[in-house]
Amino acid sequence: MSTSMKDVLDQLSSAIRDSCSQLPQNRSPAMVYALAEGAADIHDGGVLHLLPSLPPEREIACTAGCDHCCHLPVVTDSLSVLRLAHYIRSSFSPEAIATLRARIQARRAQMAPLDRSAKRRFRQACPLLQDGQCVAYDARPLICRSFNSFDAEACRQEIRETGVDYQIDGYPIPFAIGGALTRGMVEGLERAGYEDAPLDLAAALGIALARPDAAEAWLAGEDIFADAHID
């Protein structure tokens, strides 16, 4: 990685870190959602900014309707989950939310008896995937924004069929930006007095949707996502 690329990643990381560290000055759900939305915007804007000077070495294979990566367990963070739950509550019908919560519940029941290794190899559609599309695409977590591949067939084989550790070759810039932003968020939240452990998306979303006061409780320091922590 060139020094200039590292500088860009450091700048993005410190921008989100500084914003997150200010949370105690405005401890509100609106600020939680704004921080997560800001991180997503920085991610997408950063990728677009770097694309012309650091283009992918091959054509990216991802297209609408290709959903192999949405069958992996998704590891995410508290801010992204709280924003996603807020987005769903604001834009889904009560029936759609009930259906989504039932899907999440079924997935959690299937995963509950699995050991750590089996959980990593678990392959099933994300509860937000419907007819090959993410129904919360605008509010999807950073990792979903980062994931890409040069070879859809490799995704199909490695993710859907092999069921073990996978190696997908893709455009590294989105992953690098996503990683830098996640690091910055964790550091900033730590400065603000919050410990943000990696979360299983489906489990954490189920928790956040079950509690209309999820953001307030998280801001008050309650470990509402304890059951969704990745071991």
Contact positions toward ligand SF4, by CB under 6 A?
70, 74, 126, 128-129, 134, 136, 140, 144
- Judged by beta carbon, residue 17 or residue 107, the one nearer ligand SF4 is 107
| DSSP H or E segment with residue 199 | strand 199-200
- Judged by beta carbon, residue 133 or residue 162, the one nearer ligand SF4 is 133
Spatial distance between the Cα atoms of 87 and 131, rounded to a whole number of angstroms: 20
- The residue written with tokens 């591949």 in the block is 149
Instruction: Read off the DSSP letter of residue 229.
Output: B
CB of 2 to ligand SF4, least distance (A): 30
Q: How many CA atoms lie within 13 A of 181 on its CB side?
A: 28
Spatial distance between the Cα atoms of 92 and 30, rounded to a whole number of angstroms: 19
Q: Is the dihedral of CA 88, 90, 96, 98 positive or negative?
A: positive
Say whether 43 sits in a helix, a strand or coil. helix
- Judged by beta carbon, residue 35 or residue 40, the one nearer ligand SF4 is 40
Helices (H) and strands (E) in the chain, counts: 10, 4
Comparing CA positions, the residue from 224, 227, 204, 202 lying closest to residue 213 is 224
CB of 65 to ligand SF4, least distance (A): 12
CB of 37 to ligand SF4, least distance (A): 15
- Judged by beta carbon, residue 134 or residue 217, the one nearer ligand SF4 is 134
- Judged by beta carbon, residue 31 or residue 128, the one nearer ligand SF4 is 128
